[in-house]
Chains A and B, each alone.
Chain A
Amino acid sequence: MRLTVEATSVLVEILFYVFATLLVVGALGLITARNPVYSALFLVFAFINSAAIWLLAEAEFLAIVLVLVYVGAVMVLFLFVVMMLDINLAELRRGFTRFAWLGWLTACAVIVEIVGVVWTHGLTGIDVSKGFVPEPASFSNTRALGEVLYTRYVYPFELAAVLLLVAIVAAIALTLRRRPGLKSQDIARQVAVRAEDRVRVVKIAAEKRS
């Protein structure tokens, strides 16, 4: 017994609203949590829910890569740093009321921008009245993405990659400094060490007891 098309689309709709609600809860938790570790965990929660929404839209590559890169790597490092910091919350919250207007202004600007983009050239060409049209089972989202990325958009893609590489090199170059008198292990010397260098076997002739 397979679910009918209508039943599936209703199920997808219910799941969408569940995940969307959880996503909003996660995002609100992120900005309201007092403990920075909780904030980071709320962000992880929000990422996972948005990945689930992408999965519902059959964008499985993007969904899994979001979890892989952001949840699996970026947020682990974030937590790593946040847990090590000894943040004084009172110090941080001191200017809250004084700068609140700046925050509201930024939020409004972002909302106006999003609405503007959707208004000007968003909904043309997308028919939202008929709901979501599923792709056939043989359709591979990953393959489709790869085909466009490595043909039509190959130059922007490569350019972005080079930019990231430059950023990595720059970040390492900025933090790398040679301090005099720093003690560190020379691994090559440790590996090359032989027993003869460390232990000297001495032969001593037996002495006569006097």
Chain B
Amino acid sequence: MHTQISHLLALWGTLPSLVRTTVWILVITIVVILCVAFLTLWERKVIGWMQLRRGPNRVRIFGLLPGMGQPFADVVKLLTKEVVIPSRANKFLFRLAPMLALVPALAAWAVIPLSPQLVVSKANAGLLYLLALSSMGVYGIILAGWAANSKYAFLGAMRSAAQMVAYEIAMGFALVGVLMAAGSMNLGTIVGHQEGGFLAWNWFWLFPLFVVYFISGVAETNRAPFDVAEGESEIVAGFHVEYSGIAFALFFLAEYANMILISALTAVFFFGGWLSPFAGYPVIGATVLGDPSFFWLGLKVFVFLFLFLWFRATFPRYRYDQIMRLGWKALIPVTLVWLGAEMLMAAVHIGPWARPWFH
């Protein structure tokens, strides 16, 4: 058995790098899609518990926990439904829009360091690449709203375009702060420069930027309390009101993949990515708990995803003008002030700027 495994590993090493990269891309994409499937179930369960309900509890899979088969039942249902294309819709763009929404959400995983060794691309400009991709996600939504030739869909698209442009600026400024604290745009280096336990991570020195980034992330993914693009009670279902079947499912896949992505990015930028919170502390830091690994990243992503669900269960939806006001007049000034504070910190060499890479 052992010889067989080592044989397989040796074979893996001899494959051309092109093949290996392609296999990794496939593996990561499939895992993200599976995570989305179980995230929808987890969301319904968590919100159910918060509202003193049980949540989905009928569909079993392989006799496992009740409800575990729900995501698969949903997928089969959506796949077998007819995709209705409105007669006056722009047919080409109507079909293109769900794909445009999904592709950036999956492509962004290329530069995310999953563990100290495992990353598809060690691009130097990884942070810029992520910003560029997250700004392209809005095309799927605007085109869906416009191509459907429906007033409600169009209103949703307009709302979401304005919202995403506004919050992208706050998000970009928060990332400038991360850039200053890491001295690099490579995501692996950003994680590496946060080394040294729970309090050495960026969230401690960049706390306002962390808050701004996460709020902007919730707004960018069009999640409650910023989900005016859907706004069930006002504009039916917003940009995807005319979509049915698997085309509708693709929009949801994109939304949930974006949630996982934003959680992973928050973990990488502010919470040390794959670093252990106990690293550098006596006794516990020397055990296996002090080692950096993929599981720490997974745990952090899980916590942030839970926050997304918690927000949805507890906050009422923002009014449109309040969203604009929060983005432009509250979050952007906060980031600008904190960038100034970071300059002072860098000048007197405290926090991340006391580390060897800065000198």
Known A80-B158, A83-B146; 15 more pairs at CB < 8 Å: A1-B16, A2-B17, A37-B146, A41-B93, A60-B125, A61-B128, A64-B129, A67-B136, A71-B135, A72-B136, A72-B138, A72-B168, A73-B135, A83-B154, A142-B128
Interface 0/1 of B166-187, CB less than 8 Å to A = 0010000000000000000100
Total A-B pairs in contact (CB under 8 Å)? 73
Residues of A with C-beta under 8 A to B185 = 142
Q: Which of A44, A76, A185 contacts B161 (CB 8 A)?
A: A76
B325 at the interface (CB under 8 A from A): yes
In the complex, residue of chain A having the shortest beta-carbon distance to the beta carbon of B162: A80
Give bound CA distance, A41 to B129, whole Å.
21
Contact assessment for B165 and A76 in the assembled complex, using a CB-CB cutoff below 8 Å: yes
> Chain A residues near B339 (CB, 8 Å)?
none
Question: Does chain A have a CB within 8 A of B307?
Answer: no
In Å, the complex CA distance between A41 and B143 comes to: 10
**Residue contact B132 to A64, C-beta cutoff 8 Å:** yes
Interface residue count on the B side (C-beta < 8 Å): 31
Q: B345 at interface (Cβ–Cβ under 8 A)?
A: no
Q: Is A68 an interface residue (CB 8 A)?
A: yes
- Contacting pair A72 B321 (CB below 8 A): no
The 13 sampled A-B contact pairs (Cβ below 8 Å) are A41-B93, A61-B125, A61-B128, A67-B132, A73-B165, A73-B168, A76-B138, A76-B161, A80-B158, A83-B154, A140-B124, A141-B125, A142-B124
Q: Which residues from B are CB-within-8-Å of A64?
A: 125, 128-129, 131-132
For residue B146, which residue of chain A has the nearest CB? A83
Those 5 A-B pairs whose CB atoms lie nearest each other, nearest first: A72-B135, A68-B132, A67-B132, A64-B128, A1-B16
Chain B interface (Cβ within 8 Å of chain A)? 14-17, 93, 123-125, 128-129, 131-132, 135-136, 138-139, 142-143, 146, 154, 157-158, 161-162, 164-165, 168, 185, 321-322, 325
Interface residue? A154 (CB, 8 A): no
| Cβ-defined contact, B17 with A65, below 8 A | no
CB-CB under 8 A for A68 and B128, given A83-B154, A142-B185, A185-B321? yes
- Bound-state CA distance A73–B164 (Å) is 9
Query: Which of A40-73 touch B at CB < 8 Å?
Result: 41, 44, 60-61, 64-65, 67-68, 71-73
Chain A interfacial positions (CB closer than 8 Å to B): 1-2, 37, 41, 44, 60-61, 64-65, 67-68, 71-73, 76-77, 79-80, 83-84, 140-142, 185, 187
Tell me the complex Cα distance, A98–B136, Å: 39
Q: Are B165 and A77 in contact (CB under 8 A)?
A: yes
- A89 CB, nearest partner CB in chain B, Å: 15
Are A83 and B142 in contact (CB-based, < 8 A)? yes
- Residues of A near B168 (CB, < 8 A) are 72-73
The interface residues of chain B lying within 8 Å CB-to-CB of A2 are 17
Q: What is the CA–CA distance of A30 and B57 in the complex, to the nearest angstrom?
A: 53
Q: Roughly how many angstroms separate A90 CA and B313 CA in the complex, as a whole number? A: 51
Chain A minimum-CB-distance residue to B134: A72
> How far is B162's CA from A83's CA once the two chains are assembled, in angstroms?
13
Q: Is the CB of B132 within 8 A of A71?
A: yes
Give the CA-CA distance A76 to B164 in the complex, in Å. 10
Contact call B325/A187, Cβ cutoff below 8 A = yes
C-alpha gap A37/B135 in the complex (Å): 19
Q: How far is the CA of A142 from the CA of B125 in the complex (A)?
A: 8
A64 CA to B168 CA, complexed, in Å: 15
Chain A residues near B14: list those with CB within 8 A.
Answer: 1
Q: For residue A51, which residue of chain B has the nearest CB?
A: B132
Question: Do B136 and A60 touch (CB < 8 A)?
Answer: no
**Residues of chain B within 8 A of A83, CB atoms compared:** 142, 146, 154, 157-158
User: Given contacts A60-B124, A142-B125, is CB(A68)–CB(B135) below 8 Å?
Assistant: yes
Given A67-B132, A71-B132, also A1-B17 (CB < 8 A) = yes
Knowing A60-B125, A142-B125, the reply to whether A79 touches B132 (Cβ < 8 A) is: no
Bound-complex Cα distance A1 to B93 (A): 41
CB distance from B184 to the nearest CB of A (A): 9
**Chain B residue at minimal CB-CB distance from A67:** B132
Contacts of B135 in A (CB 8 A): 67-68, 71-73, 76
